[in-house]
Amino acid sequence: GGSIEIYNRIRELIEQHELLVDLELEYEKEGIGVKKSGCHGFCEMGPLVRIEPENYLYLKVQLEDCVEIVEDTLINNRPVKRLMYSSENRIYEAQEDIPFYHKQTRQVLKNCGSINAESFTEYVAKGGYQALSKVLFEMEPQEVCQSIIDSNLRGRGGGGYPAGRKWSQVLKQDSKVKYIVCNGDEGDPGAFMDRSIMEGDPHGVIEGMLIAGYATKSTAGYIYVRAEYPLAVDRLRIAIEDARKHGLLGENILASGFSFDININKGAGAFVCGEGSALTASIEGERGMPRVKPPRTVEKGLWQKPTVLNNVETFANVPLIIRNGSAWFRGIGPENSPGTKAFAITGNVNNTGLIEVPMGTTLREVIFDIGGGIKDGKKFKAVQIGGPSGGCLTEEHLELPLDFDSLKKVGAMIGSGGLVVMDEDTCMVEVARFFMNFTQNESCGKCVPCREGTKRMLEILERIVAGKGSLEDLELLEELADTISSTALCGLGKSAASPVVSTLKYFRAEYVEHVVDKK
Ligand code: SF4
């Protein structure tokens, strides 16, 4: 909080010194510009002020610090050391040297916290829309699909399905009307990666969708955003309008013969709408409920037309792959899960925030090197990965590389990238109850196993937490978990029991203590 006031105050002070320049219109003029950027990711330390070109990062800035920032740093070139990150007697001047940033590889988040998200010019100045013009004028749709296949970009929404394969399946469909849908319905508690991308670099998402549109011969795109993300909606709207003004959306884009436009749909915040078929139903104005597959979305998706459905982070990777090449992308992270992944780290960790690391980075590096370890010197106990559909990982997994396949092997999943870190004082049964309560509330009620089963599981967990459970309850939980995951219709139901299953697996003794102790 307070960032806007700080922005206004710094601006006012620069103006008083008659040094203020408009970064959009007076690029050449000497002076000092000030801009609002997207999220820098270092949430724990906000409000943040970054000074360029020195790359100083000022942390926890207060209104009373503004005079010093303007007079010392901006006018007299002297850093305000007390506002910089310090640890073990060292002061970190440049943002990139701060341990929180040092181990990160910020590709998708590169523009977040650096450019003014409402400026078309700044996006273009950073190489934006070059990838679009490359595909429009130098590549055939099939070649674009092949580039994405060669890059082995896997969907960042959780499933990890190869994006290029999906695109080429849609390209092959014989239909005049096809759609591109961007899933921005991030619903996991503790996850805000997609939100930050939409707020901090909206043109990156739009460019990715445009490229997907060209590659699959699609005609229109829809971005489905949670209504709880009003700033993301505003920034996307501004970006879409600017792109239209510059001839990058609409009829005959840049006289290439390709026409494509993008609409925004606001979701009402139902978790189940993150599921593909529920999401398309919701865009069509129907109730957001999953449906039975097949047909698959690539054949009959939105309004029964072939549809590419990817999430925000997946689309944001696309312009980078086209610009830098598939081999470049494959060079980051492990062969089977190349590229980077954005994670939101929250919970009992020192540096909560939004990070981006190469796939395959270990949990230890994420929690201890970047996250700065556990708060108040406590011991690490577990981390919940993948939100309510994911599972928990424990100390024995600290060396585990975070990528799609390694996580699958231990029964967890990346999901969209939420990481909730828990310390030694956390009650794992309560964690399971929390997630089951969430899922049970979000169950759309269409099928019985999920609707009734999650209710029963929640009742049992509540009973155990209240000290009224029995050992049989643990078996009952396992049985219900089995039934729900094998019979539920959609991903929400299939994975609803995962937090219970994994906490039972790794912390069974804690459950037993609850049922035995309290009697
Ligand atoms: Fe709805 Fe749950 Fe069935 Fe999915 S599994 S369709 S959320 S009731």
Mean pLDDT for the chain? 92
Residue 467's pLDDT band, with cuts at 50, 70 and 90, is very high
Residue 46, number of CB atoms within 10 A of its CB: 18
Q: Which atom of ligand 1 is nearest to the CA of 494?
A: 5
What's the mean pLDDT in 383-394? 89
pLDDT digits (tens, 9 = 90+) for 413-466: 887 788 999 999 999 999 999 999 999 999 999 999 999 999 999 999 999 999
Task: With beta carbons less than 8 A apart as the criterion, state whether 220 and 174 touch.
Answer: no
Q: Which atom of ligand 1 is nearest to the CA of 275?
A: 4
Q: Which two tokens stand for residue 320?
A: 């980078």
Phi-psi region of 146 (alpha: psi -120 to 50; beta: other; left: phi over 0): alpha
Look at ligand 1, atom 1, and give the residue with the nearest C-alpha. Answer: 444
**What residues line ligand 1, using a CB cutoff of 6 Å?**
272, 290, 443-447, 450-451, 488-490, 492-493
Q: Which two tokens stand for residue 25?
A: 């219109």
Side chain identity, residue 156 = R
**pLDDT exceeds 90 at position 177:** yes
**Which residue, among 343, 381, 389, has the nearest Cα to 362 in the 3D structure?**
343
Look at ligand 1, atom 5, and give the residue with the nearest C-alpha. Answer: 493
Residue 341's pLDDT band, with cuts at 50, 70 and 90, is very high
Q: What is the pLDDT of residue 517?
A: 56
Report how many domains make up the chain: 4
CATH code for position 241: 3.40.50.11540
Centre of ligand 1 to C-alpha 278, Å, is 10
Side chain identity, residue 430 = E
At which of 310, 330, 350 does a domain end? 330
Please tell me whether residues 158 and 258 are part of one structural domain. Answer: yes
Centre of ligand 1 to C-alpha 457, Å, is 15
Q: Assign 366 to helix, strand or coil.
A: helix
To test the pocket of ligand 1, the residue of 293, 439, 450 to mutate (highest count of ligand atoms within 8 Å of its CB) is 450
- Domain membership flag for residue 355: yes
Q: What is the pLDDT of residue 230?
A: 93
**pLDDT exceeds 90 at position 240:** yes
What's the mean pLDDT in 306-334? 97
Q: What is the pLDDT of residue 1?
A: 52
CATH code for position 445: 1.20.1440.230
Centre of ligand 1 to C-alpha 461, Å, is 20
Please tell me whether residues 357 and 320 are part of one structural domain. Answer: no
Scan for tokens 């003014």, then name that residue. Answer: 116
Residue 274's pLDDT band, with cuts at 50, 70 and 90, is confident
Please tell me whether residues 347 and 443 are part of one structural domain. Answer: no
Q: Which domain holds residue 492?
A: 428-517
At which of 277, 295, 330 does a domain end? 330
To test the pocket of ligand 1, the residue of 275, 293, 447, 458 to mutate (highest count of ligand atoms within 8 Å of its CB) is 447
Centre of ligand 1 to C-alpha 469, Å, is 27
Scan for tokens 């219970």, then name that residue. Answer: 500
d(CA 202, CA 232): 8
Please tell me whether residues 209 and 273 are part of one structural domain. Answer: yes
Q: What is the pLDDT of residue 414?
A: 84
Please tell me whether residues 374 and 439 are part of one structural domain. Answer: no
At which of 309, 330, 351 does a domain end? 330
DSSP-assigned letter for residue 131:
H
Centre of ligand 1 to C-alpha 279, Å, is 13
Please tell me whether residues 349 and 326 are part of one structural domain. Answer: no
**Which residue, among 478, 163, 509, 171, has the nearest Cα to 320 in the 3D structure?**
163
To test the pocket of ligand 1, the residue of 440, 446, 454, 487 to mutate (highest count of ligand atoms within 8 Å of its CB) is 446
d(CA 473, CA 459): 10
Q: Which two tokens stand for residue 416?
A: 């969209």
Assign 3-class secondary structure to 399-412. Answer: CCECCHHHHHHCCC
What's the mean pLDDT in 340-357? 94
What's the mean pLDDT in 369-393? 92
**DSSP line for 313-344:** HHHHHHHHHHHH-HHHHHTSS-TTS-SEEEEE
Centre of ligand 1 to C-alpha 303, Å, is 21
Centre of ligand 1 to C-alpha 451, Å, is 7
pLDDT digits (tens, 9 = 90+) for 86-125: 988 899 999 999 999 999 999 999 999 889 999 999 999 9
d(CA 503, CA 482): 15
- Is the ipTM higher than 0.90? The answer is yes
- DSSP strand E in 440-501: where? none
Q: What is the pLDDT of residue 161?
A: 92
Task: With beta carbons less than 8 A apart as the criterion, state whether 51 and 109 touch.
Answer: no
Please tell me whether residues 217 and 299 are part of one structural domain. Answer: yes
To test the pocket of ligand 1, the residue of 279, 490, 494, 498 to mutate (highest count of ligand atoms within 8 Å of its CB) is 490
Q: What is the pLDDT of residue 271?
A: 77
Q: Which residues pair with 225 in a beta bridge?
A: 184, 266
What's the mean pLDDT in 212-218? 98
Please tell me whether residues 128 and 170 are part of one structural domain. Answer: yes
Q: Which atom of ligand 1 is nearest to the CA of 443?
A: 7
d(CA 478, CA 471): 12
Q: Which residues contact 107 (CB under 8 A, 6 or more apart)?
A: 317, 320, 332, 339, 340, 356
Look at ligand 1, atom 3, and give the residue with the nearest C-alpha. Answer: 447
What's the mean pLDDT in 255-280? 87
Q: Which residues pair with 421 in a beta bridge?
A: 347, 383
More confident residue, 44 or 86: 86
To test the pocket of ligand 1, the residue of 271, 282, 289, 436 to mutate (highest count of ligand atoms within 8 Å of its CB) is 289
- Domain membership flag for residue 351: yes
Of all residues in the chain, the percent with pLDDT exceeding 90 is: 78
Centre of ligand 1 to C-alpha 443, Å, is 5
Q: What is the pLDDT of residue 340?
A: 97
Centre of ligand 1 to C-alpha 160, Å, is 21
Residue 379's pLDDT band, with cuts at 50, 70 and 90, is very high
Centre of ligand 1 to C-alpha 491, Å, is 8
- Domain membership flag for residue 181: yes
Task: With beta carbons less than 8 A apart as the criterion, state whether 254 and 309 touch.
Answer: no
**pLDDT exceeds 70 at position 518:** no
Please tell me whether residues 29 and 94 are part of one structural domain. Answer: yes
Please tell me whether residues 373 and 399 are part of one structural domain. Answer: yes
Q: What is the pLDDT of residue 386?
A: 86
Indicate the length of the chain as a whole number.
519
Please tell me whether residues 159 and 301 are part of one structural domain. Answer: yes
- Domain membership flag for residue 113: no
Please tell me whether residues 393 and 262 are part of one structural domain. Answer: no
Of all residues in the chain, the percent with pLDDT exceeding 70 is: 99
Stated pTM of the model: 0.92
- Domain membership flag for residue 32: yes
CATH code for position 382: 3.10.20.600
What's the mean pLDDT in 6-12? 95
Residue 72's alpha-carbon distances to 64, 66, 201, 249, 423, in angstroms, are 13, 10, 31, 44, 41
Residue 410's pLDDT band, with cuts at 50, 70 and 90, is confident
Q: What is the pLDDT of residue 233?
A: 96
Look at ligand 1, atom 4, and give the residue with the nearest C-alpha. Answer: 490
**pLDDT exceeds 90 at position 63:** yes
C-alpha triplet 406, 510, 402: angle, nearest 5°: 15
CATH code for position 83: 3.40.30.10
**Which residue, among 115, 122, 264, has the nearest Cα to 197 in the 3D structure?**
115
Residue 458's alpha-carbon distances to 436, 477, 483, in angstroms, are 6, 9, 15
Centre of ligand 1 to C-alpha 413, Å, is 19
Centre of ligand 1 to C-alpha 184, Å, is 20
Q: Assign 113 to helix, strand or coil.
A: coil
